[in-house]
Amino acid sequence: MKTMVAVLKFGFALSILISLFLTSSAQTCKTLSFPSSASNRVFSTCRDLPYLSSYLHWTYQQSTGKLEVAYRHSRVSSNRWVAWALNPTGSASAAMIGAQALVAIVGSDGTAKAHTSPISSLGTTLQAANLSFPVSGLTATYENNEVIIFATLTLNGRASSMIHTWQEGAVSGSTPQGHAMISDNTNAKETLNLVSGESQGAGGSANSIRRRRNTHGVLNAVSWGILMPVGAIIARYLKVFKSADPAWFYLHVTCQTSAYIIGVAGWGTGLKLGSDSVGIQYTTHRRLGIVLFCLGTLQVFALLLRPNKDHKYRFYWNIYHHTIGYATIIISIINIFKGFEALEASVQDRYNDWKHAYIGIIAALGGIAVLLEAYTWIVVLKRRKSEGKTSHGVNGVNGYGSRPTQV
C-alpha cells in the first residue's frame, strides 16, 4: 500500500510539474527574436496583444515624437493581409474611423509588401495612401508564417496615449478584403500609453466575455478533463488493496461528485457565453457539452440507485455505471480538445500552451494508469499464488483473489 501511495504521489507531482513547465514556457513578446534580416533592431517596450496572436514592440521618444514600431502577427498564410493602426482622433466605439494603418500583404509567392492606408469610414479598402503623420522606414518581412511590419512614425504634437487597433483578412488578387466579424476581430483594439506601456481595453463587455471564456475553459478542463479520470483511476486501482476499503470508495465518490459540480458550473458559463456571442457557434463543442451534462447527471443517479453487492441487479448496475463512466471520460477529453479548436479562432499562443499543458497532464495520468495496472496485477498474482486462489477471468473477480471491477 505504501508503494501504491508513493506511485500516486509521484504521478500527480509529475503532472503538476509538466503543467507548470509548459505554462511557464508560454511565448511572450519578451521571448521572441527577430529574423536575421532585422536582428539588430532593439525596442525598449513590447506588449502581447490580447487578440489575433499579435505582438507590438516599440520605442517612443516623447521629446521628438518619434515612434519606432514593430508589429508582428503570427499564423499568417499567403494571400492574407495584416494591419496595425494608430487612431489619434477616434473613440473607443469607433476605433477604425480615422485610424492610420500600416498594412502588409502576403502574396501567393510568399513575399510581404507594406504600405500605409488611412481609414476614413467603415468598409474602406486598405488602398495605399499617405497617413496624417510622416512615416519612414516602412518594411515588412514574412518568415515562418509570421508577418512583421517595421516603421518609424513621427507623432509631433499628438498625445502619448491613443487608441490602436490591429486586424487580419483575406486578399483577392492584390486587393484586401474585409476582416471577419467574430468577437476577436471586433475586439482587437485598446487604448495604449506609449510612454508607460499601460493599456486599457476599448470594450468592457469584450473583457468580460474573455474572462468568462477563460473561466469556462478552466472549470471544464479541471472537472471533466482531470478530476473525472483521476476518480476512475482511484476506483480501478486502490480497491485492489484490502486496507484501502472502504476509503477508496469515498475518495472516488468525492472526486467524481466534485468533478460533476465544477463541470456543471463550467457548463453553465458555456451556455451564458453562447447566448452572449450572437452569430458565433461551435456546434460540435456545444452538443458534446450537453451530452456530457446528461451523462454526468446519469452517473449521479447511479450513485443514488446503487444496489448492495449481493443484490441480483448489481451486475447490471456495474455495466451501466462503467459504460456511462468511461464514455463520459472519453467524450470529456474529446470535447476539451474541441474547446481548444474553438479558441483557435482567437489564434492566441497562450491557448496553445494551455493545450500542450493539458496534453502533458493527460499523458502523465495515462502513464500512471499503465504503472498502476502493472503493479496491481503483480499484487494480484502474488496474492493468488499465496492463497492458492484461481482466477475467474481478467474482469469480474473480487478484491481478495484478483482484479476487481465493481465500484
Mean pLDDT of 348-374: 82
Between CA 47 and CA 259 the distance in angstroms is 36
pTM greater than 0.85 (yes/no): no
Closest CA to 224 of 269, 265, 274, 284: 265
Alpha carbon distance, N-terminus to C-terminus of the chain: 19
Phi, psi of 392, deg, nearest 5 = -105, 30
Q: Where do the domains of the chain lie?
A: 2-25+208-387, 32-202
Give domain 32-202's CATH architecture.
Sandwich (2.60)
Tens-place pLDDT, residues 279-337? 556 788 888 999 999 998 988 888 888 888 888 888 888 898 889 999 999 999 999 98
Q: Which of 62-76, 202-216, 316-330, 357-371 has the lowest mean pLDDT?
A: 202-216
Q: Which of 113-122, 236-245, 393-402 has the lowest mean pLDDT?
A: 393-402
- pLDDT: is 22 or 106 the higher one? 106
- Single-letter amino acid code for the residue at 307: P
- pLDDT: is 219 or 11 the higher one? 219
pLDDT for the residue 210: 66
Range from 172-186, 199-213, 286-300, 334-348 that averages highest in pLDDT? 286-300
Mean pLDDT of 229-252: 86
Mean pLDDT of 337-341: 84
Share of residues in the chain with pLDDT > 90 (%): 14
DSSP character for 94? B
Between CA 298 and CA 327 the distance in angstroms is 12
Helix, strand, or coil (residue 264): helix
Question: What is the CATH code for 2-25+208-387?
Answer: 1.20.120.1770
For the chain, state the CA radius of gyration: 28
Mean pLDDT of 268-272: 84
Mean pLDDT of 31-56: 82
Range from 5-14, 85-94, 119-128, 186-195 that averages highest in pLDDT? 186-195
